[in-house]
Structures are given as structure tokens and as C-alpha cells.
Amino acid sequence: MDTNKLHAVVAVVRAELEEQQVLSLMASATSALQTSITEPTPERATAFETAHATLLEALDACASNTFPPSLLHILGAIGGTNNTGTGLAAEIEASLEAHGVTPAAAVQQLTAMRQRVADFSKTLTTLADAFETLAISSR
């Protein structure tokens, strides 16, 4: 694996997770779903739909969605495909649309996904710091 390309992928994904506020939006959507379960009102359902749509819009705007095949391969190799962009959006949608999944189970799944993305983000930060320490360029 080309370390310069890996560094570039790490830099882009770290930036998009932060700029698109993915972790915050995931927390908001999960919280809104939980609230709509515990206090089921049309307003609470609308709040979840809005939070969900905002999260999907942010994931759709991620720069990694337009990676060329060589960078997509690296993203996949480091386990990033389902931790950002359209890959994460597809997993969220599949979780919410699964037949037989209760709203409470969906909250658990979204919470687990958010934790996984948070862990991935921390790993990217550690890796980016190592690239800087070792003076490995992203170009």
C-alpha cells in the first residue's frame, strides 16, 4: 500500500467526519429516535425524520464518495467503507428498514454504529499523528 495515498485517505476522511459533523448528527438522530419511542407524538416523529435526513445529507456530501478506485480500495482496506459517506448511509438505511427490527433495536444498532465510527475516527487521528511524526507526506 502506498503510504502517501494512505495518508491522503486518512486526511480526507478525518476532515469529512469533522466538517460534516457525522458523529454529532448520528447522536442527534439516535436521540431523536429514542425520544420518539418514549414520547410518541407526531412532532417527535418529525424531529427524527428531520435528524435522519440531515445525517443522510451530510453523509452524501462526504468527499470520500468521489474517491477514484485506487483510493476506494485503500478506504476499504482500512475498514473505512462503512464508517463514512454512502457506505455508512447505506448501513444506517438497511438497519432502519430491516423487517422485524423494533425501534428500540434500531436505537441500539445506531448507537453501536456511532461508537464504531467514533473508534475509527480516533484511529485515524492516531494514524495522522504518526504520519506527521514520521514526516510522511500525503502527496
% of the chain exceeding 90 in pLDDT: 84
Q: Looking at the domain 3-133, which fold is it?
A: Four Helix Bundle (Hemerythrin (Met), subunit A) (1.20.120)
How does DSSP classify residue 84?
S
CA distance 85 to 64: 6
**Whole-angstrom distance, CA of residue 7 vs CA of residue 115:** 23
Helices (H), 2-139: 3-19, 22-38, 42-60, 69-77, 85-97, 103-133
- What is the C-alpha to C-alpha distance for residues 22 and 84, in angstroms, rounded to an integer? 8
Residue range 21-78, pLDDT digits in tens: 999 999 999 999 999 999 999 999 999 999 999 999 999 999 999 999 999 999 999 9
Q: How far apart are CA 103 and CA 85, in angstroms?
A: 23
Domain parsing of the chain, residue ranges: 3-133
Single pTM value for the model: 0.92
Q: With bands split at pLDDT 50, 70 and 90, how would you rate the model's confidence at 113?
A: very high
